[in-house]
Structure 1
Amino acid sequence: MPAPPHDVSGHTWHHPDGVLFRITKEGPAVVVGNGYESDMPGFAAVLSDDEIRAVLAFIRSTWPERERQYQSEMSRREKEKTR
């Protein structure tokens, strides 16, 4: 499967920051597992962690306020779970 659109029509904004970071770094097939197939590779060999964070920050900046708030809340909940 191709990577989903990262605008409001896609589902990228449904995922918390940690998941988006891992998917970008490792690739969706690694993160999802269970034989999941995707055309999107991981970018660990191409981008540093800071560059991945910068790309994700740019993508988030293109979302409408409602989607940014939803994704921010998902990320907050994710962080609480890991404490």
Structure 2
Amino acid sequence: MILAIFTGWHHAGTASNSVASAEVIAQGRQIYADQCAACHGADLEGQPDWRTQLPSGRSPAPPHDETGHTWHHSDEVLFRIVKEGTAAIVGGGYESDMPGFADVLSDAEIRAVLDFIKSTWPERERAYQENVSQAN
């Protein structure tokens, strides 16, 4: 299910130091459930043994909770990974099972998913990720 129009898109400040409205976070939660949870887990837990390469040479889907590495990346990098896919961002012939969602999700929907994910992190991880985003 794709939500075409977002109402209530209320951010304070810039994209990198923003606080999303409860409505946007709820929309992001639903999009995550529909588009991301099959690989990254309903509770953002990722696939088992996500740090161990699969026989295919690719990596399992990482968690998006505080136990993973999502919060180490800037807003810009996270947005581009979701939109373009991991391989497009890493380059150098890197192969990944993470597709780009440019043909599936609007930019606003991608941001809503990321806002939902970030809303689940403890304060320490949120602050770190915000600082990384502001440095870019």
Q: 2: distance between equivalents of 1:2 and 1:44?
A: 21
Q: 2: distance between equivalents of 1:25 and 1:59?
A: 15
Matches within 5 A, 1:1-83: 1-78=59-136
- TM-score with structure 1 length normalisation? 0.91
Equivalent pairs, count: 78
Higher percent of residues as helix: 1
User: Between Structure 1 and Structure 2, whose CA radius of gyration is higher?
Assistant: 2
Alpha-carbon RMSD = 0.7
Structure 2 residue matching 1:35: 3-state secondary structure: coil
Offset of 1:2 from its aligned partner?
2.6
Give a deviation string over 1:10-58, Cα, whole Å, max 9, x none: 1000000000000000000000011212111000010000000000000
Structure 1 residue matching 2:113: 3-state secondary structure: helix
Q: Unaligned stretches of 5+ in structure 1?
A: 79-83
Bigger mean CA deviation after superposition, 13-22 or 31-40: 31-40
Consecutive aligned runs of 4 or more in structure 1 exceeding 6 Å deviation: none
Structure 1 residue matching 2:112: 3-state secondary structure: helix
Q: 1: distance between equivalents of 2:110 and 2:61?
A: 16
Q: 1: distance between equivalents of 2:86 and 2:79?
A: 10
Query: Which residue identity lines up with residue 90 of structure 2 in the other structure?
Result: V
Percent identity, aligned pairs only? 73
Using CA pairs below 8 Å that are at least 6 residues apart, which structure has the higher relative contact order? 1
Offset of 1:61 from its aligned partner?
0.3
Q: Unaligned stretches of 5+ in structure 2?
A: 1-58
C-alpha contact 1:25 1:44 (8 A) present in aligned 2: yes
- TM-score with structure 2 length normalisation? 0.56
